[in-house]
Amino acid sequence: MKVLISDNISTKCVDILKNAGLKVDVKTGMSPDELKACIGDYHGLIIRSATKVTADILEAAKNLKVIGRAGSGLDNVDKTAATKKGIVVMNTPGGNTITTAEHTIALMVSLARQIPQATMSMKSGKWEKKKFMGVELFNKTLGIVGIGNIGSQVARRMQAFSMNIIAFDPFLSEEKAKEMGVEKVALKELFKRADFITIHTPLTPETKNLINKEVIKTMKPGVRIINCARGGIINEKDLYDALVEGKVAVAALDVLEKEPPENNPLLTLDSVVTTPHLGASTREAQENVAVAVAEQVVDYLVHDTIRNAINFPSIPSDQVAKLNPYINLAERLGCFAAQMFEGGVTQITIEYKGDAADINTAPVTIAALKGFLTPILEETVNFVNAPLIARERGIEIKEIKSTDQGDYQSLIALRINAKKKTSYFAGTLYGKKDPRIVFVENFKVEIIPEGALLFMYNNDKPGVIGNIGSLLGKNKINIARMHFGRETPGGTAISVVSIDSPASPALLKKIQGLPNILSVKQIRL
């Protein structure tokens, strides 16, 4: 079998692949057309962040079985297209954790004491001691947005600086926060209280422009912001304006929306400390991820074992046909539940009823966890680390099995518990393979869990459906399907509309304003 390495990577990766009997070609710096022309010859592809694996390239990948990313980020891979073709997509989560945390801290100290600016001044022959007055980290409030692998390492280290650490993470429970020695707060409160803010979330539709001019207005004057996560989480124009106005004192950026940047005005400001995406750039980290991805690709191509795949669980080959429909249902059900649920989760109970109680539930439970965690954590979650990530956030996982079929031949249900709230979601298989969500809280429904969905609570009154359809039509959004459920005639009801293209925030606000609409959420599956 042949493996293509299309980005610069440690030679240890090549050695491991060759020692396993695989043929290896290293072709870096290829254009998309060049990659498309040659990819059909290869069974494995190893990349870092430079190579863009698009649907067009995957269409030409006739023999490709696995894509291995040396690193955690996978926003340069069309994961949906790869999954449809049965191509396993792997990453190396955790390999960059320490180095990115350390780089975050290095930037934090640098901007607090203006070290890069003072260095440039000294090298130009100046002695501007009074100009570079710094601030102490001692007793300042550090706000961490996203306290997963990297964020938690930053928190642990900054406690040694005697910083007061507050954190926002949608899956962080109060108990886990106390165990970590941090204060769990709402995102709005974090922005309001923090002297320093550091970001450790993936770039998703929910985190795009998470920090913008409206959010910056709520921050302390002179706040300091660090981003070693992903470009695009901060609106760069709004940050520029805030820096010029002095609302934000200094920003430290390892990532930008466009890399390499072209005439980015942020780079003209003395109040910006920046590095060229160096968060993972240490010798140790690069060797760690190179070795890890090589071993994972060898395990799959040579030994037929999947590790750290973000789109396939590791299950025995003779069980694949039976389990895959349940795995698909569980992952979609978990993803749906996560986008419906709000609050710190303390416990997730997965219930298997009827025929579902007789299957190997271990990979199905993992699929439900992966689905639940993915909407917020995205590429950092896979079928291997989902249980660990849940435990790290203080989420207790339980399984319950019952052969009682009830109204369905097979049923998988999720009970999501917080301190004062329990939510219930359940799904089944139609024709033994097609997933359906059949319960949302107390409402019996029949939802096809795919694409973009608008989920609305509404009063069960005439005209609701017509108003929704009319408004979507005016905005040129086509309705694919509509699903409904109600508790009692004339009471509270739910309306679920499957749409061909996502609705904008402005349109969601208009829907919220329609008569008898109580709330609206957009769900992406």
3-state secondary structure 240-306: HHHHHHCCEEEEEECCCCCCCCCCCHHHHCCCEEECCCCCCCCHHHHHHHHHHHHHHHHHHHHHCCC
Confidence label for 344 from pLDDT (cuts 50, 70 and 90) = confident
pLDDT in tens, 20-40: 999 999 999 999 999 999 999
For residues 128 and 270, membership in a common domain is answered with yes
Question: Residue 102: which domain range?
Answer: 97-274
For residues 430 and 468, membership in a common domain is answered with no
Confidence label for 316 from pLDDT (cuts 50, 70 and 90) = low
Active site residue 331: no
* Residue ranges with strand state E in 298-356: 347-354
pLDDT exceeds cutoff 90 at 309: no
Determine the length of the chain: 525
For residues 347 and 433, membership in a common domain is answered with yes
Give the residue from 293, 310, 327 where a domain finishes: 310
- The answer to whether 167 and 174 have CB atoms below 8 angstroms apart is no
Q: Domains in the chain: how many in total?
A: 4
For residues 304 and 327, membership in a common domain is answered with no
Q: How far apart are CA 326 and CA 434, in angstroms?
A: 9
For residues 394 and 268, membership in a common domain is answered with no
For residues 195 and 321, membership in a common domain is answered with no
For residues 252 and 104, membership in a common domain is answered with yes
pLDDT in tens, 95-129: 788 999 999 999 999 999 999 999 999 999 999 99
For residues 200 and 303, membership in a common domain is answered with no
Catalytic residue among 230, 393, 436, 483: 230
CA distances from 187 to 165, 207, 216, 301, 441 (A): 13, 12, 12, 44, 26
Nearest to 90 by CA among 320, 315, 306: 306
For residues 492 and 390, membership in a common domain is answered with no
For residues 118 and 216, membership in a common domain is answered with yes
Active site residue 259: yes
For residues 129 and 250, membership in a common domain is answered with yes
SS3 (DSSP) at 63: coil
For residues 75 and 163, membership in a common domain is answered with no
Q: Which of 312-326, 334-348, 461-475 has the highest mean pLDDT?
A: 461-475
DSSP secondary-structure letter at 464? Answer: H
pLDDT in tens, 31-86: 999 999 999 999 999 999 899 999 999 999 999 999 999 987 788 999 888 877 87
Sheet holding 2-5, edge to edge: 23-26, 2-5, 44-47, 66-69, 88-90
Active site residue 230: yes
Q: How far apart are CA 407 and CA 74, in angstroms?
A: 41
Tokens of 467: 């108003």
Provide the CATH number for the domain around residue 486: 3.30.70.260
pLDDT at position 281 is 86
Catalytic residue among 259, 284, 342, 450: 259
Provide the CATH number for the domain around residue 180: 3.40.50.720
Instruction: Look up the pTM and report it.
Output: 0.71
pLDDT in tens, 367-384: 999 999 988 776 567 777
